[in-house]
A and B are shown apart, each in its own frame.
Chain A
Amino acid sequence: MKTNAQTKIRPAVTRRSFMRGAAYGTLGAVIGFDRLDSLAAAGRVAPFAAPDPASRLILVRDEAAVDEGHLVNAQVVAAMVDRAVQELAGETDARRAWARFFKPEDTVAVKFTHCGWMRVHTEQAVVDAVIARLKGLGIPAGRIHAADGGQPLKECTALVNIPSVKVHTLTGFACSVKNYINFTGRESSYHGDGNAKLADSFLLPDIKGKTRLIVVDFLRPYFGPGPQINPLHRWDYKGVLAGTDPVAVDTTALRICQVKRDAFKGEPWPVTPPPRFLAAAEQDYKLGTADPQKIQLVKLGWDKDILI
Chain B
Amino acid sequence: MEKRGIVVVLIGLAAVSRVLSAVDETPMLKRLLPAEVAGWRADPAADKAFTRDTIFTYMDGAGELYLAYAFRGLEVREYADGRGGTIAVELYDMGKPSDAYGIFTQDLDGDPAAVGREGLYGAGLLRFWKGRFFVRILADRETEETKRVVLGLGVLAAARLSDEGERPRLVAALPAAGLEAGSVRYFHRQVSLNSHYYLADDNVLGLGETTDAVLGTYRLPRGKAMLLLCKYGRAADARQAYLRLCEGFFSEPCRRKDEQHVEQLESGETAGVKRHGFFLVLVLEAPDVAACEGLLLAAQKTIQEVFR
Asked if A188 and B56 sit within 8 Å, CB to CB, the answer is yes
Q: In the bound complex, how far is the Cα of B61 from the Cα of A118, in angstroms? A: 9
Given A12-B202, A14-B204, A272-B196, also A228-B109 (CB < 8 A): no
Most chain A beta-carbon neighbours within 10 Å: one of B66, B107, B141, B142? B107
Q: Which of B181-205 contact A (CB under 8 A)?
A: 191, 194-202, 204
Q: How many A-B residue pairs have CB under 8 A?
A: 116
Contact with B along A5-49 (1 / 0, CB 8 A): 000000011111011100000000000000000000000000000
**Which one of A15, A16, A117, A224 lies within 8 Å of B59 (CB-CB)?**
A117
Asked if A273 and B56 sit within 8 Å, CB to CB, the answer is no
Asked if B64 and A232 sit within 8 Å, CB to CB, the answer is no
**Which one of A12, A118, A228, A273 lies within 8 Å of B204 (CB-CB)?**
A12
Q: Which residues of B contact A274 (CB under 8 A)?
A: 198
Asked if A19 and B265 sit within 8 Å, CB to CB, the answer is yes
Given A14-B201, A169-B195, also A225-B123 (CB < 8 A): no
Asked if B64 and A226 sit within 8 Å, CB to CB, the answer is no
Q: Which of A183-226 contact B (CB under 8 A)?
A: 187-188, 191-193, 224-226
Q: Is B62 an interface residue (CB 8 A)?
A: yes
Q: Is A60 an interface residue (CB 8 A)?
A: no
Query: Which residue of chain A lies nearest to B103 when distances are taken between CB atoms in the complex?
Result: A227
Q: In the bound complex, how far is the Cα of B138 from the Cα of A168, in angstroms? A: 19
Asked if A13 and B194 sit within 8 Å, CB to CB, the answer is no
Q: Which of B176-229 contact A (CB under 8 A)?
A: 191, 194-202, 204, 224
Asked if A16 and B249 sit within 8 Å, CB to CB, the answer is yes
Asked if B265 and A16 sit within 8 Å, CB to CB, the answer is yes
Q: Is B124 an interface residue (CB 8 A)?
A: yes
Q: Which residues of A contact B64 (CB under 8 A)?
A: 169-170, 188, 191-192, 227
Asked if A13 and B200 sit within 8 Å, CB to CB, the answer is yes
Query: Which residue of chain A lies nearest to B248 when distances are taken between CB atoms in the complex?
Result: A12
Q: In the bound complex, how far is the Cα of B194 from the Cα of A273, in angstroms? A: 5
Q: Is A231 an interface residue (CB 8 A)?
A: yes
Query: Which residue of chain B lies nearest to A9 when distances are taken between CB atoms in the complex?
Result: B247
Most chain B beta-carbon neighbours within 10 Å: one of A13, A14, A230, A267? A230
Q: Is B53 an interface residue (CB 8 A)?
A: no
Q: Is B60 an interface residue (CB 8 A)?
A: yes
Q: Which residues of B contact A273 (CB under 8 A)?
A: 194-195, 198
Q: How many residues of A contact B (CB 8 A)?
A: 38
Q: Which residues of A contact B201 (CB under 8 A)?
A: 12-14, 193, 276
Q: Is A53 an interface residue (CB 8 A)?
A: no
What is the minimal beta-carbon distance from A237 to any residue of chain B, in angstroms?
A: 16
Q: In the bound complex, how far is the Cα of B249 from the Cα of A16, in angstroms? A: 7
Q: Is B94 an interface residue (CB 8 A)?
A: no
Asked if B198 and A15 sit within 8 Å, CB to CB, the answer is yes
Query: Which residue of chain A lies nearest to B109 when distances are taken between CB atoms in the complex?
Result: A232
**Which one of A187, A192, A231 lies within 8 Å of B142 (CB-CB)?**
A231
Query: Which residue of chain A lies nearest to B190 when distances are taken between CB atoms in the complex?
Result: A192
What is the minimal beta-carbon distance from B154 to any residue of chain A, in angstroms?
A: 15
Asked if B106 and A225 sit within 8 Å, CB to CB, the answer is yes
Q: Which residues of A contact B56 (CB under 8 A)?
A: 188
Asked if B266 and A16 sit within 8 Å, CB to CB, the answer is yes
Asked if B266 and A15 sit within 8 Å, CB to CB, the answer is no
Query: Which residue of chain B lies nearest to A267 when distances are taken between CB atoms in the complex?
Result: B224
**Which one of A15, A16, A115 lies within 8 Å of B61 (CB-CB)?**
A115
Q: Which residues of B contact A224 (CB under 8 A)?
A: 107, 109
Asked if B61 and A168 sit within 8 Å, CB to CB, the answer is yes
Asked if A15 and B200 sit within 8 Å, CB to CB, the answer is yes
Given A20-B266, A69-B141, A272-B196, also A228-B61 (CB < 8 A): no
Asked if A19 and B61 sit within 8 Å, CB to CB, the answer is no
Query: Which residue of chain B lies nearest to A191 when distances are taken between CB atoms in the complex?
Result: B64
Asked if B267 and A230 sit within 8 Å, CB to CB, the answer is no
Asked if B249 and A12 sit within 8 Å, CB to CB, the answer is yes
Asked if B59 and A225 sit within 8 Å, CB to CB, the answer is no
Q: In the bound complex, how far is the Cα of B141 from the Cα of A188, in angstroms? A: 30
Asked if B198 and A272 sit within 8 Å, CB to CB, the answer is yes
Asked if B265 and A225 sit within 8 Å, CB to CB, the answer is no
Can you offer 22 A-B residue contacts whose CB atoms are under 8 A?
Answer: A12-B247, A13-B201, A13-B202, A14-B201, A14-B248, A15-B200, A16-B249, A16-B251, A117-B58, A118-B61, A168-B61, A191-B64, A225-B106, A227-B64, A227-B66, A231-B124, A231-B125, A231-B138, A232-B110, A272-B195, A272-B196, A272-B197
Chain A residues engaging chain B, CB cutoff 8 angstroms: 12-16, 18-20, 69-70, 115, 117-119, 168-170, 187-188, 191-193, 224-233, 267, 270, 272-274, 276
Q: Which 7 A-B pairs have the closest CB atoms?
A: A227-B62, A12-B248, A231-B123, A14-B200, A273-B194, A13-B201, A227-B65
Chain B residues engaging chain A, CB cutoff 8 angstroms: 56, 58-62, 64-66, 106-107, 109-110, 122-125, 136, 138, 140-142, 191, 194-202, 204, 224, 247-249, 251, 265-267
Q: A12-B201, A115-B61, A170-B195 are in contact. List 11 more A-B contacts (CB 8 A).
A: A14-B248, A19-B265, A19-B266, A69-B141, A117-B58, A117-B60, A118-B59, A191-B64, A192-B194, A228-B62, A267-B224
